[in-house]
Amino acid sequence: MGPAGTPSGDLEFKADRSPFAVRLTGRALAQLVSTCIIAGRDETGGVLIGRYSPDHRTAIIEIATGPGGDSRAGRAWLIRGVKGLQRLLNSLWSSGGGYYLGEWHFHPGAAPTPSHQDVSQMKVIASSPRYHCPEPVLVILGGEPGGDYLLHVEVFGLAGRRVPLTQVDR
């Protein structure tokens, strides 16, 4: 199956020389995988929602949304729609159910390597006060979601600093 575990267990990612860490819950991982399976050979993606640990060093991803009804995608491209997204985020925020933490998408049959466009978009998110997320997380699932796949996880810090994270054994 996928990376060191199944969609039922949480995955931890940490940086070597940085305090950043990400926990991808089993629920969110299952949402990612099932959305990618449904997409087949087309890209898909969505947003990451969750919370931060009490020390604010770990982003805990609890929800990975689907692409939304106004999204468009093809074999090697995705334009993630926004229809209904703000309403969902407002609802979760006001109920204490989580915050926007970043973006995720799928590279079908390919490596989970961020493209130039992926990097540019994440830098815009990190620097835009509109997103209220100065250190967004990017998760890319690459390969075959029903079989062998890999995950790429990184944090985009202030001033465009990229911090790639590595999965750690639990």
Catalytic position from the list 12, 43, 135, 144: 43
The contacts of residue 142 (CB under 8 Å, 6+ apart) are 106, 107, 110, 111, 112, 113, 149, 150, 151, 152
Other beta carbons within 10 angstroms of residue 163's beta carbon come to 18
Q: Are 13 and 152 in contact (CB under 8 A)?
A: no
| Whole-angstrom distance, CA of residue 25 vs CA of residue 70 | 27
| Whole-angstrom distance, CA of residue 143 vs CA of residue 149 | 4
φ/ψ of 15, rounded to 5, equals: -100, 150
| Whole-angstrom distance, CA of residue 61 vs CA of residue 56 | 13
**43 annotated active-site:** yes
Q: Which residues are catalytic?
A: 43
